[in-house]
Amino acid sequence: MQVLARLLMIGCCLFAVMPSPVVGQAQTQQQMDIQPAYAWLELIDRGRYFQSWQYASKQFKQNIEASQWNDVLVGAKDSLGTLVSRELSGYGERDTVAGLPKGKYMVFKFKSTFENKTLYELLIMTRENNELKTVAYLIQ
């Protein structure tokens, strides 16, 4: 019985100090995925609406013209004011997203505080030419 207890103790100690490559890889992948999301949102924060449209996916561009996108964002930014803070509150990969064709999507949810309001931003991205590109951007 004592031998079994010692083996369990040694096994637990070894398990505790062994690195977990799966967790490390997942965190690295999440960090890699989140960088384009923040970069794209930063274009909007800086008022570079046309550039945000340019760096979006083909599907995004087919759904809204650059001038319409500009008008939508000007109206939204006027009512919200400047960004105070933005924090990632959710992240996941999806094969299906309501209103979009079946595919591989990265869905980011941010809790964002602006001068005039705190809300959630939902950013949906997909890989296009080996880069993450925005498919949809929603304010909730």
Q: Where are the alpha helices (DSSP H) in 18-115?
A: 21-45, 49-54, 58-63, 66-80
Name the pLDDT band for 135 (thresholds 50, 70, 90).
very high
Q: Distance between CA atoms of 72 and 54, rounded to whole angstroms?
A: 15
pLDDT of residue 30: 59
Please check whether residue 37 lies inside any domain of the structure. Answer: yes
Please indicate, yes or no, if residue 99 is contained in any of the structural domains. yes
Residue 79 lies in a domain: yes
Mean pLDDT value of segment 42-51: 96
> Considering its fold, how many domains does the chain have in total?
1
* Position 31 confidence tier, pLDDT thresholds 50, 70, 90: low
The arithmetic mean of pLDDT across residues 106-134, rounded, is 96
Residue 96 confidence (pLDDT): 92
pLDDT > 70: percent of the chain = 77
Query: Containing domain of residue 127, as a range?
Result: 33-137
We report the CATH number of the domain holding residue 129 as 3.10.450.100
